[in-house]
Each structure stands twice: as structure tokens, then as C-alpha cells.
Amino acid sequence: MIAAGTGLAPFRGAVVDRTAALAEGAELAPALCYFGCDAPDADFLHAGELRAAEAAGAVSLRPAFSTAGTFVQHRVAVEADEVWELLGAGARVYVCGDGSRMAPGVRDAFRTLYRDRTPDADGPAADAWLDGLITEGRYIEDVYAAG
């Protein structure tokens, strides 16, 4: 799950569902939640709820704070080895929020992730790989264009 700002809202439901499933004894695949906001003390929405879900093992929170110069695509790039491993295991990527800056940045981070880990991969190959994930329903965006 990758979001910025209010794009986090739809992922709350997924986190709540995962937390409830764990409470019922379910075994779940790992879930990472990358989300961006300005600052942890200003707009880390639902921090208590999300931290409790993380403590329960329902999700691994990956905040990115723009006041520190970090955006979600930067954090994905830094943690690319883990993301790549999960993709290799069949993970799905859900992107929600700003479609004008965040979503293109995340797509670029994923293309770079592929190029860096695939011998002789170039830009068109990375585009084809990402398009394949989209076609397979493994990379899904629900974004809005800021006006």
C-alpha cells in the first residue's frame, strides 16, 4: 500500500481487516504501508490506530515525512530489496492519492527497482514490466489529479 495525504484513508479499512483476521488466528502475508505526510507531529493521521495494528503484526508502517525531504517513492527506493522480494512472491501494489506528483514518482521508483535488479534491462523493458503488473492486476492505482 502506497499513499500520500488523504490517500491513506482507503488503506485504513485493509489494515483494520488484517488486524481482525489476526485476532481470529489467521496467518497473513506481509503488508507494507508506505504513506506520506508533512510531519509526524502535524498530520500523521490515525497514528495510534496504525501503530497498534503494526504492533499486532497486521502491517509494517513506512511513513515518509516531506518536511524531512522524504517522499513515499524515496522510501520505496531505499527499501527496494524488500519490495522486490515481495513482488517476486506475488505481492500486489496499491497506490492511492495524488496522481499528479506522487503516483508518477512511485511508477518511476518501480521502474528503477526493476532496471536495477534485471540484467540488461532498459527503459522500455521496465515500462513493459510495469505494464505487465498492471495487466495482471498486481499494480493498481486509485489516484486523483490535483487541479
d(CA 8, CA 33): 9
pLDDT at 147: 56
Other C-beta atoms closer than 10 Å to the C-beta of 119 total 5
Residue type, 62: R
pLDDT at 146: 63
**Structural domain contains residue 31:** yes
pLDDT at 6: 83
d(CA 1, CA 16): 14
Residues with pLDDT less than 50, the chain: none
Cell (9 digits) for 24: 481470529
Say which CATH number the domain at 7 has.
3.40.50.80
Other C-beta atoms closer than 10 Å to the C-beta of 12 total 16
Residue among 133, 134, 114 nearest 125 (CA): 114
* Eight-class DSSP state of 101: T
Note whether 121 and 114 are within 8 A (CB): yes
At 98-122, the pLDDT tens digits run 999 999 999 999 999 999 999 999 9
**Structural domain contains residue 147:** no
Cell (9 digits) for 23: 485476532
When divided into structural domains, the chain yields a total of: 1
Give the CA dihedral 64, 65, 70, 75, nearest 10 degrees.
Answer: -10
d(CA 45, CA 48): 9
89 to 84, 92, 93, 129, 139: CA distances (angstroms): 9, 10, 12, 15, 14
Domain residue limits at 31 = 2-142
pLDDT at 53: 97
Single pTM value for the model: 0.93
**Structural domain contains residue 105:** yes
